[in-house]
C-alpha cells in the first residue's frame, strides 16, 4: 500500500505542478473580471501539492504497511481483458456497427468470465439483437451502421 | 402557486402510462440490482441514466427514482437469504436477517424488511415534501458567500466521512474540482486545460466519468474476484407478518425512519451510516438487547427503515440547495441538469411541477417496491443464484452503449474506460472516488461563487466570516478538517498522562 500511495502522491504532485504551470498562462488577477481564469486552478494545484506532500509524510512515517489485495496477474487478467474489449468496442463501433460489435463484445467477455462458448454465443446473439432493437430501432439513437448497413 | 395546485400539476404529469411504465421498470431494475450481490444501486442508476436521456423529464425521473428506492430495499433480500448484503445499506440487516432465515423465518424477515423500508421511505417522503419548501425559501437569501461556504462544507464532510485516509479523500475531492475547471470559464469565457482539443471545450464529460467510476470500476472489481458459491436459505414461506408481529416491530420502524431521514439529509452520511446508527440506537434502548443478533425481527426493521428513510432525506439538500450528498444524488443532479432542471432554491418557484412530480414519484416508488417485494419474494430470491458471468458482460455492454448515446461520440467511450480504470485503481489503493465525482459536480458552484465573492468584496475574502450562515459553514468546515488531528493530539496527551500516572504508581509501590 505504501508504494501505491507514494506513486499516487507523486502523480498528484505532477498534476498539481502541471495545473499551476498551465493556469499561469491565463490572466490571473484582473480584479474587474473577478480574479481571472487562471486564479482558481492555481489555488487548486497548490492545494493538491500540499495535500500530497502531507500524504507522503504520513505514509513514510507510518510503520505498518497493509498489503493491497488482488494486485496480481491471477486477479488482474480478467479486468484487463474487459478494458481491452471496451477499447475494441470503441474502435470497432464505426466499422462493424452496433449489432456485430455488441455480439463479439458479449461473447468474448462472457467466455472470459468462464461461461461455456456455445451458451456465450447464444446469449451474445440475443443480447445484441435486444440492444439493437431497443436503442437503434425503438429509442432511435443514430448508431453507426457498419458493414451490415446495407442489410439492416 | 399553493401546495394543492403544485401537486395537481405534478399528478397530471406523473399519472401517464409511459411515466408509470418507466416507474415500474425502474423499480424492477432496482430490485434486481439490489438483490444481486456485488451490484450497487449507484451502479444501477449510473447504467440507467444514459438510457433515460431520450425520455421526457418525468419518465426519466420515474425510472431513476424507482431504481433508487427499490434498490435500497432489494439489498435486504440477499442479506436475509444469503448472508450477503446486496447493497452497502443492508450490511446491518445480515446480523438478524440471516439468523431469521436459518430459523425458517426468511419469508417473515423479507416481509418485515419490505414494510420497514416502505414506512421509512414514506416518512422520509413526507418530511421531504413538508420541509424542502421552507428550506428553499430560507436558501433564497443565499448569496455567493453562502453558496461557496455550502459547497466547500459539502466536499469537506464527504472527505471527513469517507472510509480510510481523510487526506486521500480530500485529494480526490480537490482533483475533482480541478477536473471541473477544464473547458470554458463561466466568468471570463476563456478556455482552460483543453490543450487544443475541440471535444474538451465543453469540459470533462460528467456522465462518462460517472458511469466509468461507478459502473465500469465495479465491473472490473467484480471480475477480478473469484466467483464463490453462495450458501442460501432456500425455504421462503409466509411473507406478511401477523398483526402481533407488526405491532412488535412498529416502534422500531418509526424510530428507524426518523433516524434515517435525519441522517440521510446530512451530506455524505447516506443509507449505510443511517442503518448502522439506527441498529445501534434501537438495540441500545431495547428491553432485551441480548436477543439482537440471534434473529430478532426488530434487528431487521431498524436498519431497513433507516436505509430507505435516508433516500428521501438525501434529496433534501439536493433539491433545496443544489448540493448532492452522495454518489447517487450526484448522478440524479446531473440527470436533472441534463433535462434542464437546475436544483436549488429557485427550483421551487421556477419549476414547481418538476418538484411535486419528484415527491409523487418517490411516494409511488415506495408503494410499488413494497407490493412487488412482498408478492414476488420467492422468484426474486431465485435471481440471487443468477451467475454473474452472464450478467456482467451485458452490464458492461450497457455501459458502453449508454455512454455512446449521450452525444453519439466514441470520444466519450475513452473517458468511460479511463474513468473505469481510475476508479478500479483508486479502490485498490483505498482512495475514495465519490469525493472526486462530487468535486466535479460541485466544482463550478464553488469556483464561480468563490470568484464572485472576491469580486463583490474587492478581494477581501475573509468577509465570508462576517455573514452568519457562511461563517457557520466555514467554521464547521475548519472544524471537520482539523478534528482528526485535534482528536489524535488529545488521545496522545491522555495516553502520556495515563502512562505517567502508571509510572508514578509503580514508583510509589517500589518505594513502599
Q: What is the pLDDT of residues B286-316, one digit of tens each?
A: 888 888 888 889 999 999 999 888 888 888 8
Backbone CA torsion sign across B488, B491, B493, B499: negative
pLDDT at A8: 93
| Average pLDDT value for residue range B40-60 | 87
The torsion of the CA quartet B382, B385, B391, B392, rounded to 10 degrees, works out to: 140
Cell numbers placing A127: 443480447
Owner of C-alpha cell 507514494 = A6
Per residue in B91-113, pLDDT (tens digit) is 788 888 888 888 888 888 889 99
Task: Indicate yes or no: CB of A68 within 8 angstroms of CB of B192.
Answer: no
Tell me how far apart the alpha carbons of residues B462 and B484 are, in angstroms, rounded to a whole number: 24
Task: Choose among B190, B413, B421: nearest Cβ to A26.
Answer: B190
A-chain residue closest to B449, CA distance: A34
Chain A, residues 127-146, CB within 8 A of chain B, namely 127, 131, 135, 139-143
Q: Confidence class of residue B116 from pLDDT cuts 50, 70 and 90?
A: very high
Asked if the model's pLDDT at residue B468 lies above 60, the reply is yes
B191 phi/psi in degrees, rounded to 5: -90, 140
pTM for this entry: 0.79
Residues 6+ apart with CB under 8 A from A142: B408
Tell me how far apart the alpha carbons of residues B212 and B424 are, in angstroms, rounded to a whole number: 9
If you average pLDDT over every residue of chain A, what do you get?
Answer: 86
Per residue in B478-506, pLDDT (tens digit) is 888 887 777 777 877 777 776 666 666 66
A114 phi/psi in degrees, rounded to 5: 100, 10
Asked if the model's pLDDT at residue B215 lies above 90, the reply is no
Tell me how far apart the alpha carbons of residues B284 and B272 are, in angstroms, rounded to a whole number: 18
Q: Please, where are the H alpha helices in B285-409?
A: 297-321, 327-338, 347-350, 352-375, 377-383, 388-407
Task: Indicate yes or no: CB of B188 within 8 angstroms of CB of A44.
Answer: no
User: Pick from B320, B325, B297: which is nearest to B310 by CA?
Assistant: B325
Task: Indicate yes or no: CB of B171 within 8 angstroms of CB of A12.
Answer: yes
Per residue in A105-123, pLDDT (tens digit) is 999 999 998 889 999 999 9
More confident residue, B342 or A75: B342
Size of interface A-B (CB pairs under 8 A): 172
Asked if the model's pLDDT at residue B438 lies above 60, the reply is yes
Cell numbers placing B72: 435500497
Residues 6+ apart with CB under 8 A from A32: none
Q: Confidence class of residue B240 from pLDDT cuts 50, 70 and 90?
A: confident
Strand-pair partners of B184: B191
Contact list in A for residue B421 (CB cut-off 8 A) is 83
Task: Indicate yes or no: CB of B168 within 8 angstroms of CB of A36.
Answer: no
Q: What angle in degrees, to the nearest 10, is found between the helix axes of A73-112 and B410-428?
A: 140
Reported as type and span, the H/E element at residue B389 is helix B388-407
B-chain residue closest to A89, CA distance: B400
Q: Does A117 touch chain B (CB under 8 A)?
A: no
pLDDT at B228: 60
B-chain residue closest to A50, CA distance: B171
pLDDT at B422: 94
Q: Confidence class of residue A135 from pLDDT cuts 50, 70 and 90?
A: confident
Q: What letter would DSSP give residue B184?
A: E
Range of lowest pLDDT (A105-114, B347-356, B365-374, B494-503): B494-503
∠ Cα B362 B208 B151 (to 5°): 65
Per residue in B412-423, pLDDT (tens digit) is 999 999 999 999
Cβ neighbours around B374 below 10 Å, total: 16
If you average pLDDT over every residue of chain B, what do you get?
Answer: 84
> Over B62-109, what HEC string results?
HHHHHHHHHHHHHHHHHHHHHCCCCCHHHCCHHHHHHHHHHHHHHHHH
Tell me how far apart the alpha carbons of residues B70 and A63 are, in angstroms, rounded to a whole number: 44
User: How much of chain A exceeds pLDDT 90, in percent?
Assistant: 51
Asked if the model's pLDDT at residue A30 lies above 60, the reply is no
Q: Please, where are the H alpha helices in chain A?
A: 2-23, 39-61, 73-112, 117-131
User: Pick from A147, A83, A126: which is nearest to B399 by CA?
Assistant: A83
pLDDT at B298: 92
Residues 6+ apart with CB under 8 A from B260: B120, B124, B271, B274, B275, B278, B305, B306, B307, B308, B309, B310, B313
Are B440 and B176 in contact by the 8 Å Cβ rule? The answer is: yes
Tell me how far apart the alpha carbons of residues B309 and B270 are, in angstroms, rounded to a whole number: 10
Strand, coil or helix: B191:
strand
| Average pLDDT value for residue range B443-456 | 86
Q: Confidence class of residue B269 from pLDDT cuts 50, 70 and 90?
A: low
Per residue in B182-205, pLDDT (tens digit) is 998 877 788 899 888 888 888 898
Per residue in B309-334, pLDDT (tens digit) is 888 888 888 888 888 877 888 889 88
Task: Choose among B405, B421, B424: nearest Cβ to A141.
Answer: B405
Task: Indicate yes or no: CB of A83 within 8 angstroms of CB of B220.
Answer: yes
pLDDT at B72: 82
B-chain residue closest to A4, CA distance: B429
Amino acid at each position: 500500500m505504501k508504494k501505491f500511495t507514494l506513486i499516487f502522491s507523486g502523480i498528484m504532485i505532477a498534476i498539481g505542478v502541471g495545473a499551476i504551470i498551465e493556469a499561469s498562462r491565463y490572466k490571473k488577477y484582473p480584479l474587474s473580471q473577478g480574479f481571472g481564469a487562471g486564479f482558481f486552478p492555481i489555488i487548486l494545484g497548490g492545494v493538491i501539492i500540499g495535500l500530497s506532500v502531507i500524504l507522503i509524510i504520513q505514509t513514510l512515517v507510518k510503520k505498518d504497511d497493509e498489503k493491497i489485495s488482488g494486485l496480481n496477474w491471477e486477479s488482474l487478467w480478467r479486468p484487463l481483458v474487459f478494458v481491452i474489449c471496451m477499447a475494441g468496442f470503441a474502435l470497432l463501433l464505426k466499422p462493424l456497427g452496433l449489432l456485430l460489435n455488441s455480439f463479439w463484445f458479449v461473447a468474448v467477455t462472457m467466455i472470459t468470465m468462464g461461461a461455456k462458448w456455445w451458451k456465450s454465443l447464444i446469449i451474445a446473439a440475443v443480447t445484441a439483437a435486444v440492444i439493437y432493437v431497443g436503442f437503434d430501432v425503438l429509442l432511435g439513437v443514430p448508431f453507426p451502421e457498419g458493414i451490415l448497413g446495407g442489410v439492416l | 402557486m399553493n401546495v394543492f395546485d403544485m401537486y395537481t400539476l405534478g399528478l397530471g404529469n406523473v399519472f401517464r402510462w409511459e411515466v408509470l411504465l418507466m416507474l415500474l421498470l425502474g423499480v424492477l431494475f432496482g430490485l434486481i440490482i439490489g438483490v444481486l450481490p456485488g451490484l450497487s444501486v449507484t451502479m444501477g442508476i449510473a447504467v440507467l441514466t444514459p438510457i433515460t436521456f431520450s425520455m421526457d423529464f418525468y419518465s426519466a425521473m420515474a425510472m431513476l427514482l424507482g431504481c433508487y428506492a427499490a434498490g435500497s430495499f432489494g439489498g435486504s433480500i440477499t442479506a436475509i437469504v444469503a448472508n450477503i448484503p446486496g447493497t452497502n445499506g443492508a450490511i446491518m440487516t445480515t446480523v438478524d436477517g440471516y439468523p431469521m432465515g436459518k430459523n425458517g423465518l426468511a419469508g417473515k424477515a423479507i416481509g418485515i424488511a419490505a414494510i420497514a423500508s416502505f414506512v421509512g421511505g414514506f416518512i422520509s417522503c413526507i418530511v421531504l415534501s413538508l420541509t424542502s419548501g421552507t428550506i428553499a425559501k430560507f436558501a433564497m437569501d443565499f448569496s455567493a458567500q453562502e453558496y461557496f461556504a455550502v459547497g466547500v462544507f459539502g466536499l469537506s464532510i464527504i472527505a471527513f466521512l469517507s472510509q480510510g485516509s481523510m487526506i486521500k479523500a480530500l485529494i480526490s475531492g480537490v482533483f475533482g474540482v480541478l477536473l471541473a475547471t477544464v473547458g470554458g470559464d463561466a466568468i471570463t469565457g476563456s478556455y482552460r486545460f483543453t490543450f487544443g482539443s475541440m471535444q474538451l471545450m465543453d469540459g470533462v464529460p460528467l456522465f462518462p466519468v460517472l458511469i466509468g467510476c461507478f459502473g465500469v470500476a465495479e465491473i472490473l472489481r467484480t471480475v477480478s474476484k473469484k466467483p464463490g458459491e453462495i450458501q442460501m436459505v432456500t425455504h421462503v414461506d409466509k411473507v406478511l407478518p401477523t398483526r402481533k408481529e407488526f405491532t412488535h416491530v412498529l416502534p422500531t420502524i418509526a424510530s428507524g425512519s426518523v433516524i434515517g431521514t435525519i441522517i440521510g439529509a446530512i451530506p455524505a452520511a447516506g443509507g449505510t451510516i443511517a442503518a448502522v446508527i439506527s441498529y445501534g440506537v434501537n438495540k441500545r434502548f431495547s428491553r432485551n438487547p441480548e436477543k439482537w443478533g440471534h434473529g430478532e425481527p426488530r434487528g431487521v426493521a431498524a436498519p431497513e427503515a433507516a436505509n430507505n428513510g435516508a433516500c428521501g432525506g438525501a434529496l433534501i439538500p439536493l433539491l433545496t440547495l443544489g448540493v448532492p450528498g452522495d454518489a447517487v444524488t450526484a448522478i440524479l443532479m446531473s440527470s436533472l441538469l441534463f433535462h434542464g432542471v437546475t436544483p436549488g432554491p429557485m427550483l421551487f418557484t421556477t419549476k414547481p411541477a418538476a418538484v411535486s412530480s419528484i415527491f409523487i414519484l418517490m411516494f409511488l416508488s415506495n408503494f410499488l417496491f413494497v407490493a412487488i417485494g412482498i408478492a414476488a419474494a420467492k422468484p426474486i430470491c431465485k435471481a440471487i443464484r443468477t451467475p454473474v458471468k452472464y450478467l456482467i458482460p451485458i452490464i458492461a455492454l450497457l455501459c458502453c452503449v449508454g455512454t455512446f448515446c449521450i452525444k453519439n461520440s466514441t470520444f466519450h467511450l475513452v473517458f468511460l474506460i479511463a474513468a473505469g480504470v481510475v476508479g478500479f485503481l483508486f479502490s485498490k489503493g483505498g482512495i475514495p472516488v465519490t469525493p472526486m465525482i462530487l468535486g466535479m459536480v460541485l466544482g463550478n458552484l464553488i469556483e464561480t461563487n468563490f470568484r464572485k465573492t472576491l469580486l463583490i468584496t474587492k478581494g477581501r475574502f475573509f468577509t465570508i466570516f462576517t455573514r452568519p450562515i457562511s461563517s457557520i459553514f466555514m467554521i464547521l468546515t475548519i472544524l471537520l478538517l482539523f478534528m482528526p488531528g485535534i482528536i489524535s493530539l488529545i488521545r496522545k496527551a491522555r495516553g502520556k498522562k495515563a502512562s505517567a500516572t502508571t509510572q508514578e504508581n509503580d514508583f510509589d509501590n517500589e518505594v513502599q
